[in-house]
Chain A
Amino acid sequence: MIKFIALIPAIPFLGFLILAIFGQKLTRRSAGLIGAGSIGIVAILTLIIGIGFIGSLPDVKSYSVVVWKWINAGNLSADISFSLDSLSMVFCFVITFVGFLIHIYSIEFMKNDEGFTRFFAYMNLFVGSMLVLVLADNILLMYLGWEGVGLCSYLLIGFWYKDPANGHAARKAFIITRIGDTAMIIGIFILFLNFGTFNINELMLQASEKWVSGSSIAVLTAALLLCGALGKSAQLPLQTWLPDAMAGPSPVSALIHAATMVTAGVYLIARTHVLFSIAPIVQAAIAIIGALTLLIAGFSALVQHDLKRILAYSTISQIGYMFLALGVGAWSAAVFHFMIHAFFKALLFLGAGIIILVLNEEHNIFRMGGLRKKLPVVFITFLIGSASLSALPFITAGFYSKDQILWYAYSSRNGSILLWVAGIVGALLTALYSFRMIFITFYGETKTEPAFKPGKLMTVPLIILAVLSLVAGFVELPGSIGNFHLFSKLVENTLPTVTLKSNENLEFLFQVLSSIIALSGIYLAYLIYYKKPALAEPFNQSKLNKFFEKGWGFDKLYDTLIVRPIVWLSVIDKADFFNWWSVGLSKLALLTNQLLGITQNGKLRWYLMSFVIGIALILTYMLFK
């Protein structure tokens, strides 16, 4: 069964090809069937292969399959080869399973859209590229998948292309991630130059042997790869594209910008963790960036009006948690949080999609309200999702994953109390903004009536994800509660265990603290946004509120520093030397036209004269030859 690994990315690509080539002739039903069905097949396949893989642990830690030789130029060679180990297996499972649920949801969500087939074609292409990314054996193939998901992100954000604002958002996303991608490819170049191979395992082995820990080249390469991860995962300073990317349809936001693409950065860092281990400065930087991002995004999420923007900033913040975990060396905690986050964030986005759809494209939460009774299924699942996001103690999966991160932020050898404080403040903010969202959207009086009730295809994925958001945490119970380490044991076949400082027995204390913070956050939200809205008024009007709402002014900063100078440069460079050539060519053609046009002035005698001149010339010439 293991040799069918290559099928996992291939089937979505096949689905994409069928939809792209025959899209015009397919009915909606068959397009939806092919689109969602291909991901469904892949999900089942992943499950089967996964069970087989887990069964063969801990003897065989990874499998590799070479499909064909891709590039073979001198001493530069790269293959299309896929390898499966526990890290990529977890990612594959999440991508295919959550992806499948989102595709089912999209069949009903997009059913009235004219670009139905195009949507599924792009989504399949995306899932295929993402699977290539996580299953790639060599870093060049991973970069292929990286670029592929970037492309699909652009295509899907600007899906409703008739509105130019969507195109603008798509371009912004693409350009900002491009900055990260460029840094990453330079990093790949450096790795190849030094080690002559693209194979990731090889690279990591040779890097650990040949590069001294803390040497400048290791730091440089690690920093470049980190930039790539920052771009894709929307962390500081490249985080400005994600809130605007909410211009795309909600399933896109759920799949790409919550569950999968934005976690590609996490995957990259986890995959190349050896490199980061020998560049401890960069790893510390990861932790600091993660901590800062989660705070900034948390504050921004607190004051947004648009439902999806709250969730976007929340995503940035939660990925900040994952980066924080990576930075302190808690690799399996990061991957665990990724999995749980994928479940509840996709759930929240899908639920938000339903709300926006039934309220006729109403995005502003202050114009919603009272949806608790009108959309009960959505309310309950949304509540579960938000509870998981806020890490409600013991019953939600989010508690177990976030709690682990918070604990390791303090207790890991690279951790510190400051990082923990940042994390705990972030947890308070998380609880605050997510329940603000719940209270304003679902409680109170109904300002906009829902136009219809969502169908089964939309609600069943919600229910499944809600259940997962509750129970999926039980695979990894911390030492003080159940000591059940199924997940981390699985992941630690590939990633190293986190090394702790000595005080392990404080874990329970930290858990209690984080539970108290989460509950108090919920209570505060209840007070401020439900009971006495007047308490929040002075803050709502303040300048600080505006500052947070605009994403801490990063957009404006980049606009002034980078965008405006470039635009100014290109404007003054409009008529440069190269332009002269192309304009000159067209002017030459016009001139020739006008010159030759003189001979066509419609006058008979002119034509006659030209006849006679011609005859005279030809005859004279022939005579004198």
Chain B
Amino acid sequence: MLTVPVETQLLFAGILFLLGLIGLLVRRNMIFMLMSIEIMFNSAGLAFIIAGTRWKQPDGQVMFIFILAVTAVEVAIGLALILQVYHHYKTLDADAVNRLNDSNNI
């Protein structure tokens, strides 16, 4: 049985999450941004499993299964949207899709 302290485990999940966050902020390619979001989802699931193990209940794993379902759907739809954007703008630059802007250019 694992005797690693829960804090360390949660810290591990947190570090993974933060790495995903950094990836999201830094990268400009939309595929990479989506990938970073995946990392974040995964680390959240990991945190749930850790909690479930800590409290000795199956609820953590149940939650992870649901997160998995949501992630799958989200990736599918996200990639479909990225395909549409690519066919329209011919680029995967996240800064290219800024038509919803409202600034008046001082």
Contacts and interface: CB of A to CB of B under 8 A. Distances in A.
> A and B: real partners?
yes
Interface of A: 593-595, 597-605, 608-609, 612
Given A601-B101, A603-B94, A605-B94, A612 B106 contact: no
Contacts of B103: 594, 597-602
Interface string B1-39: 000000000000000000001001100100000000000
A610 to B, nearest CB: 11
Nearest to B28: A605
Given A602-B99, A604-B97, A593 B104 contact: yes
B97 A600 contact: no
Contacts of A595: 106
A447 B80 CA distance: 84
B69 interface: no
A483 B106 CA distance: 91
Contacts of B25: 605, 608-609, 612
28 contacts: A594-B103, A594-B104, A595-B106, A597-B103, A597-B104, A598-B103, A598-B106, A600-B101, A600-B102, A600-B103, A601-B98, A601-B101, A601-B103, A602-B98, A602-B100, A602-B102, A602-B103, A603-B94, A603-B95, A603-B98, A603-B101, A604-B94, A604-B95, A604-B97, A604-B98, A605-B28, A608-B24, A612-B25
Nearest to B27: A605
Interface of B: 21, 24-25, 28, 94-95, 97-104, 106
A609 B26 CA distance: 10
Contacts of B21: 612
A602 B103 CA distance: 9
Contacts of A597: 102-104
Nearest to A615: B21
Nearest to B26: A605
Contacts of B98: 601-604
Contacts of A602: 97-103
A308 to B, nearest CB: 56
A604 B29 CA distance: 12
A601 B98 CA distance: 7
B95 A605 contact: yes
A602 B104 CA distance: 12
Contacts of B104: 593-594, 597
A605 B95 CA distance: 7
The 3 A-B pairs with the shortest beta carbon distances in the complex, nearest first, are: A602-B101, A602-B98, A600-B102
Contacts of A612: 21, 25
B80 to A, nearest CB: 17
Given A594-B104, A603-B95, A604-B94, 11 more contacts: A595-B106, A597-B104, A599-B103, A600-B103, A602-B97, A602-B100, A602-B102, A602-B103, A603-B94, A603-B98, A604-B95
A612 B24 CA distance: 11
Most interface-central of A595, A597, A609 (chain B CB within 10 A): A597
A1 to B, nearest CB: 74
Nearest to B21: A612
A325 to B, nearest CB: 71
A219 to B, nearest CB: 66
Contacts of A608: 24-25
Nearest to B99: A602
Contacts of B97: 602, 604
A382 B36 CA distance: 98
Nearest to B100: A602
Contacts of B95: 603-605
A599 B106 CA distance: 12
Contacts of A604: 94-95, 97-98
Contacts of B101: 600-603
B57 to A, nearest CB: 27
Contacts of A594: 103-104, 106
Nearest to A598: B103
A597 B104 CA distance: 6
A47 B69 CA distance: 96
A607 to B, nearest CB: 10
Contacts of B100: 602
A597 B98 CA distance: 14
Nearest to A595: B106
A602 B24 CA distance: 17
A603 B93 CA distance: 10
A608 B95 CA distance: 12
A605 B30 CA distance: 10
A597 B95 CA distance: 17
Contacts of B28: 605
B104 to A, nearest CB: 5
A482 B3 CA distance: 139
A601 B105 CA distance: 9
Of the listed residues A593, A604, A609, the one surrounded by the most CB atoms of chain B closer than 10 A to its CB is: A604
Nearest to A600: B102
A262 B28 CA distance: 82
A237 B98 CA distance: 70
A571 B25 CA distance: 57
Contacts of A603: 94-95, 98, 101
A601 B21 CA distance: 21
Contacts of B99: 602
Contacts of A598: 103, 106
Nearest to B24: A608
A592 to B, nearest CB: 11
A575 B94 CA distance: 48
A612 B97 CA distance: 21
A445 to B, nearest CB: 70
Nearest to A599: B103
A619 to B, nearest CB: 12
Nearest to A590: B104
B88 to A, nearest CB: 15
Contacts of B102: 597, 600-602
A312 B99 CA distance: 67
Contacts of B106: 594-595, 598
A595 B104 CA distance: 9
Nearest to B101: A602
A369 to B, nearest CB: 67
A615 to B, nearest CB: 9
A123 to B, nearest CB: 53
